[in-house]
């Protein structure tokens, strides 16, 4: 019985990993695919909880720029991981 239960758990974990199209990549990797190198220098991943990706931005000017592109970035993130529902920016330390 234990072998069946472990097999079921492995299969379920595999299916959950496929929801995002990959198993080893993190939200940082998703952002690297969705943003330019210049933009990546002004942000830092904070959290991914309940489908919301939280990101710190280093200035209000960059926050405004990201908010203008939010829908486009969100589309790209959803292609990487279907679990992403929203993208939230806040001004904070990126180091």
Q: What is the mean pLDDT of each run of 10 residues along the chain (95 residues)?
A: 68 54 72 93 93 95 96 93 94 89
Model pLDDT, residue 11 = 64
Output the pTM of the full model.
0.71
In Å, what is the CA distance from 58 to each residue of 22, 47, 55, 78?
A: 29, 16, 10, 24
| Distance between first and last Cα of the chain | 49
Which residue has tokens 């790209």?
76
Domain total in the chain: 1
Identify the CATH number of the domain in which residue 84 sits.
3.30.300.180
Could you list the residue range(s) of the whole structural domain that residue 68 is in?
Answer: 2-91
């Amino acid at each position: 019985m234990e072998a069946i239960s472990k097999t079921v758990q492995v299969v379920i974990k595999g299916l959950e990993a496929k929801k995002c199209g990959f198993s080893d990549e993190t939200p940082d990797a998703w952002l690297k695919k969705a943003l330019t190198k210049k933009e990546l220098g002004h942000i830092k991943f904070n959290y991914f909880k309940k489908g919301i990706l939280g990101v710190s931005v280093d200035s209000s000017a960059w926050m405004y720029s990201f908010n203008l592109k939010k829908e486009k970035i969100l589309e790209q993130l959803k292609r990487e991981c279907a679990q992403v529902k929203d993208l939230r920016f806040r001004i904070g330390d990126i180091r």
